[in-house]
Chain A
Amino acid sequence: MLAFVLRRIALTVPTLFALSFLTFVAIRLVPGDPIEVRRGERGISPERLEFFRHELGLDQPVWKQFLDYIWGLMHGDFGVSIISQDSVLREFLTLFPATLELSLFAMLFAVVFGVPFGVLAAVKRGSVFDHGLMGVALFGYSMPVFWWGLLLVLFFSVTLDLTPVSGRIDLLYYFEPVTGFMTVDSLLSGQEGAFSSALSHLVLPAIVLGTIPLAAIARMTRSSMLEVLEEDYVRTARAKGLSPFRVIGLHALRNALIPVVTTIGLQGGTMLAGAVLTETIFAWPGVGKWLIESIFRRDYPALQGGVLLISTLLVLVNMTVDILNAVINPRIRHGR
């Protein structure tokens, strides 16, 4: 087991190295002179140009610049944002809890509805319920996330006036962030109504972000459950006279969940991509919206650092999923 974990962790090192190389190259391919973009000056004197070139390390050979970049990354230096002049890592870490909170609630929504729906569809295979559910899942799977968000806003916020349209909490409330999770911080602040305000801001974005994972999880649970229900041990459990509830809920579901866990993990990447769109629609102050804004502000160091940080996260999530899979399923551990 330990050998597997170590091997899997070792595998991520070259990927992370290549990712930093990719971002290093990408930022150099972006059109526009870095000094002009950074300083906003045109026609500056040769001395000042030399000064800035030296300050940014651009007078060094490229391989030296790359080594310096890697050295900086290893010391947590992901560059400095042109706009805020703040460390990219610090900006990212300030905004990341918002994205994480949104993603966790979205995943919660997807799992809480996706798994039972998938199980029910498998058990009632071929029924109207099964067909209806898989039809809905197909639509969920094909949904343009940004349009779905606008539709929900139109229905729940504009027509019914039930939920707010943007942000994380009403401006009435203010408290220092402790965990960065608005739902937790609002409870900790003890202000009346703060928690329900935070929650009502969270509902729509979480549903929007969770819709595609919900459809994927429901489909995967159904097909995995159908496979497991054919197995001998399920027949044995039935023959023993166990209640259908026990057979399905305990014997079948536990084994059917293995591929579902993988799907949940893989949806992590979809989530991060979806977060860019969801956060843009709901003006949710997370890393996705920040990434898009940094493009429009031509804040390339922020874009570079942000892409690297998000991709690193995804690599680590995938690694964790693989390791978790090996923990649940010994066949993976000993295979290969």
Chain B
Amino acid sequence: MADDVALAPPSPARALWADFAVNRGAVLGLAVLCTILIIAAFADVIALHDPMIQFREHVLQPPVWAAGGSWEFPLGTDDVGRDLMARIVHGARFSLFIGFSVVVVSLAVGVCLGLASAFMGGLVDTLISRVMDLIMSVPSLVLAIVVIAIIGPSLANTIVAVTVVYMPRYVRIVRATAQAELAKDYVTASRACGVGPFRLAFVTVLPNCLAPLIVQAALGISDAILEAAALGFLGLGAQPPTPEWGAMLSSAREFIQRAPHVVTLPGLAILITVVSINLMGDGLRDALDPKLKRS
């Protein structure tokens, strides 16, 4: 039986890829995201200049395709003569780093709180659920602003603030799916076999809650990137001269008439990154969660 390869079911990863690859948009999104990841990883090699060095004789130089541009600064320079391409390429590091760390931290905390909520029930469940409801009752950006007011604006604190804002989603998903799983026979069987609570929670139940969690995590990266860029734009996130895309837009605003490229290009970088992640996330959702499929 087992040696009949043709009849064996495909491995889960292969099945997932087959479902995912049907969606051309999702594959495109994944490809673009991988490209951005590579750009971020090799930012030092790709950038022609240091993102912090100011070329004072080349202030607000337009990009190479516009009149007055040159290949020395392919995407032009900003208001103090820094190479815009170098800054955008390095900015990819910050944005992706923020996006991924927010998701990793809120996933870790969300899984623990959600499982605790579902398994312990009673007072613990009520307490955790109420606190999450409370966090979600404040508009996301407003809550992030309050957190920043308390801990002060910086890149690291941006991650903290955005994590606080987005964590409740993961807690809710884990709690709801774990509760549904707990009613199933295999959990009762494991309990009867004497499986301990930790093993039951993390090894037996958690893997069956992963599908919606992965989808939410993928889409959560783009939300985190947007939120962090918004904070940077308001001057409450990464601080200048950090080449973070939101902060770059914020300091470029006043030059919108003289040199539109300092505004359009960093924003375009944000948009492309977020669109590619959302495309990939939509594809993941269709592949992992057929119930949620948007016909």
5 A-B pairs with least C-beta separation: A147-B267, A273-B141, A142-B274, A273-B139, A272-B139
Residue of B nearest to A300 (CB): B149
Pairwise interchain contact A295-B139, C-beta atoms closer than 8 A: no
Q: Do residues B142 and A273 form an inter-chain contact, with CB atoms below 8 A?
A: yes
A119 sits at the interface (CB 8 A): no
Q: Does B140 contact A (CB under 8 A)?
A: yes
**Chain B minimum-CB-distance residue to A23:** B146
Q: Give the total of B residues in contact with A, Cβ under 8 Å.
A: 42
Residue of A nearest to B134 (CB): A18
Question: Are A292 and B145 closer than 8 Å at their CB atoms?
Answer: yes
Which stretch from B30-38, B185-193, B202-210, B230-238 is at the chain A interface? B230-238
B222 at the interface (CB under 8 A from A): yes
Task: Determine if B133 and A142 form an interchain contact, defined as CB atoms under 8 angstroms apart.
Answer: no
> B137 in the interface, Cβ–Cβ < 8 Å?
yes
Map CB proximity to A onto B126-139 as digits: 1 under 8 Å, 0 otherwise: 00001001100111
Chain B at the A interface: SS class: helix
A22-B134, A147-B266, A292-B234 given. 8 additional CB < 8 A pairs? A26-B150, A138-B282, A146-B246, A147-B270, A151-B267, A158-B256, A310-B138, A310-B139
Residue ranges of B at the interface with A (Cβ–Cβ < 8 Å): 130, 133-134, 137-142, 145-146, 148-150, 152, 222, 226, 229-230, 233-236, 246, 249, 253, 256-257, 260, 263-264, 266-267, 270-271, 274-275, 278-279, 282, 294-295
A270 vs B140: C-alpha distance in the bound complex, in angstroms? 8
Interface residues of A in 175-230 (CB under 8 A from B): 219, 223, 226-227
Closest to B273 in A: A142
In the complex, chain A residues whose CB is within 8 Å of the CB of B256: 150, 153-154, 158
If A142-B275, A307-B146 touch, does A273 touch B140 (CB 8 Å cutoff)? yes
Could you pull out 10 A-B pairs where Cβ atoms are within 8 angstroms?
Answer: A30-B150, A144-B267, A148-B267, A150-B267, A219-B294, A291-B145, A310-B139, A311-B142, A314-B138, A314-B139
Q: Tell me which residues across on chain A come within 8 A of B134, comparing CB atoms.
A: 15, 18-19, 22
A323 at the interface (CB under 8 A from B): no
Q: Answer whether A311 and B233 are a contact pair too, CB < 8 Å, given A142-B274, A143-B271.
A: no
Contacts of A19 in B (CB 8 A): 134, 137-138
Bound-state CA distance A30–B55 (Å) is: 40
Q: Are A276 and B142 neighbours in the complex by a CB distance under 8 Å?
A: yes
CB interface residues, A 114-165, toward B, < 8 Å? 125, 138-139, 141-148, 150-151, 153-154, 158
Q: What residues of B have a CB within 8 angstroms of the CB of A158 in the complex?
A: 256-257, 260
- Is A315 engaged at the interface, CB distance under 8 Å to the other chain? yes
Contact of B271 among A139, A280, A300, A311 (CB under 8 A): A139
Would you call A244 an interface residue if the criterion is a C-beta within 8 Å of the partner chain's C-beta atoms? no
A226 / chain B contacts, CB cutoff of 8 Å: 295
Given contacts A31-B152, A150-B249, A277-B234, contact A141 B278 (CB under 8 A): yes
Cβ of A167 < 8 Å from any Cβ of B? no
Contact A15 B141 (CB under 8 A): no
A335 within 8 A of B: no
Is there a chain B Cβ closer than 8 Å to A303's Cβ? yes
A296 / chain B contacts, CB cutoff of 8 Å = 235
Query: In the complex, A147 Cα to B16 Cα: how many Å?
Result: 36
Q: Specify the chain B residue showing the minimal Cβ separation from A139.
A: B275
How far apart sit A220 and B140, CA to CA, in the bound complex (Å)?
21
Q: What distance in Å separates the Cβ of A300 from its nearest Cβ neighbour in chain B?
A: 7
Contact call B139/A154, Cβ cutoff below 8 A: no
A274 (CB) vs chain B CBs: closest residue: B141
Q: How far in angstroms is the closest Cβ of chain A from B223? A: 10
Distance of A64 Cα from B141 Cα, bound (Å): 31
Given contacts A223-B294, A295-B149, A303-B149, contact A144 B271 (CB under 8 A): yes
B137–A138 contact, CB under 8 A? no
Minimum Cβ distance to chain A for residue B269 (Å): 10
Residue A2 is within 8 A (CB to CB) of chain B in the complex: no
- Within 283-324 of A, Cβ neighbours of B (below 8 Å) are at 291-292, 295-296, 300, 303, 307, 310-311, 314-315, 318
CA distance A168 to B246 in the complex (A): 26
Asked whether any CB of chain B lies closer than 8 Å to the CB of A44, the reply is no
Residues of the B chain whose Cβ atoms lie less than 8 Å from the Cβ of A18: 130, 134
A259 located at the interface, meaning its Cβ lies under 8 Å from any Cβ of chain B in the complex: no
Q: Would you call B146 and A26 a contact (CB within 8 A)?
A: yes
Residues of chain A within 8 A of B133, CB atoms compared? 15
A17 to B149, CA, bound (A): 22
Report the Cα distance A59→B246, complex, angstroms. Answer: 43
Asked if A277 and B233 sit within 8 Å, CB to CB, the answer is: yes
Tell which of B130, B246, B249, B278 touches A142, judged by Cβ atoms closer than 8 Å: B278
A117 to chain B, nearest CB (A): 15
Q: Among B137, B148, B260, which residue has its beta carbon within 8 angstroms of that of A315?
A: B137
A141 proximity list for chain B (CB < 8 A)? 278
Who on chain A is nearest to B268 by CB?
A147
The residue on B at minimum CB distance from A296 is B235
- Which residues on A sit within 8 Å (CB–CB) of B279? 138
Known: A15-B137, A30-B149, A276-B234. A154 touches B263 (CB 8 A): yes
Nearest A residue to B277, CB-CB: A142
Within 8 A of B (CB), among A258-275: 269-270, 272-274
Is A14 an interface residue when CB atoms closer than 8 A count as contact?
yes
Flag whether A3 is at the interface (Cβ < 8 A). Answer: no
Contacts of B274 in A (CB 8 A): 142, 144
- CB contacts (< 8 Å) of B222 on chain A: these are 142
- In the complex, what's the smallest C-beta–C-beta distance from B164 to chain A, in angstroms? 12
Is B295's CB under 8 angstroms from A223's CB? yes
Contact between chains at B295 and A227 (CB < 8 Å)? yes
